Amino acid sequence: MKILLLGYGKMGKTIEKIALERGHSIVGKIDLSNRSEMNQLEKADVDVAIEFSSPEAAYDNITYCLKKGWPIVCGTTGWLEHRSEIESLCQSEKGAFFYASNYSIGVNLFFRLNRQLAHLMNGHGYKASMTEIHHIHKLDAPSGTAITLAEGVIAEDSSIKGWTLAPEQEGGLIQIRAEREGEVPGTHIIRYESEVDKIEIAHTAHSRAGFALGAVISAEWLPGKQGVFGMDDLLKI
């Protein structure tokens, strides 16, 4: 499979390594310094694009790929205010777009556990909050994974209407504390606390390899399909 990499930072390099190990070829490695090289590629040159760039570049990269007819897998977060536009473009271009805030198989199982716990805790007087910890190079806060987790809690708990970044305090919102330290790949902790006890669940990534493998597996799955997809489709959850 011919893969175009959009974003060639640490994540892009890890994706490249795993893709090559799985027998694929990399037809382009695009970042801010060489974006014009993408214009030299024809539709037949690329089977699928994998986009892990930056919040500022993601929208233009996704738009370009959909108009070019390239299926695209995106893991960049921080641009989701434009998601409805991208999904409309995907439909009008009869393209294929795969988005996940996190491509780790373990994290996506954790998303399901999070919703189940939120369902069980609803109405029992516990206050929900969250902490997410990432490396100092991460540009957006809270993380896309934290937002997905918050949305899962909101869907299951009618008393919670949205999320807010700590230290802001407002009733009816789940508070998210975003911490940036060292080279932490990603840790997410959801807690429920009352006057008498506390319940926590957590997911800790040991490296970027799990995210990269999930992105490559998604890229293998996407070509030949039409529409907007996510990890639930891939995992058949």
Q: Active-site positions? A: 134, 138
What does the alpha-carbon distance between residue 159 and residue 168 come to, in Å, rounded to a whole number? 18
3-state helix, strand, coil in the chain (%, to 5): 40, 25, 35
The two three-digit tokens of residue 144, written as one number? 């896309």
* β pairing state of 127-134 and 48-51: unpaired
Q: Is 145 within any annotated ligand binding site?
A: yes
What does the alpha-carbon distance between residue 200 and residue 130 come to, in Å, rounded to a whole number? 9
Q: Is 103 within any annotated ligand binding site?
A: yes
Instruction: Output phi, psi for 35, to 5 deg.
Output: -60, -30
Beta carbons within 8 Å of 127's beta carbon, 6+ residues apart: 192, 193, 194
Q: Which amino acid is at 235?
A: L
The two three-digit tokens of residue 208, written as one number? 């970027």
Q: Is 100 within any annotated ligand binding site?
A: yes
Identify the H or E element spanning 191: strand 187-193
What does the alpha-carbon distance between residue 12 and residue 5 come to, in Å, rounded to a whole number? 7
Instruction: Output phi, psi for 42, to 5 deg.
Output: -90, 170
Q: Is 34 within any annotated ligand binding site?
A: no
Determine contact, residues 101/144, Cβ cutoff 8 Å: yes
Q: Is 108 within any annotated ligand binding site?
A: no
- Binding-site residue positions: 35, 75-77, 100-103, 135, 144-145
- Binding-site residue positions for NAD(+): 75-77, 100-103
- Binding-site residue positions for (S)-2,3,4,5-tetrahydrodipicolinate: 135, 144-145
- Binding-site residue positions for NADP(+): 35
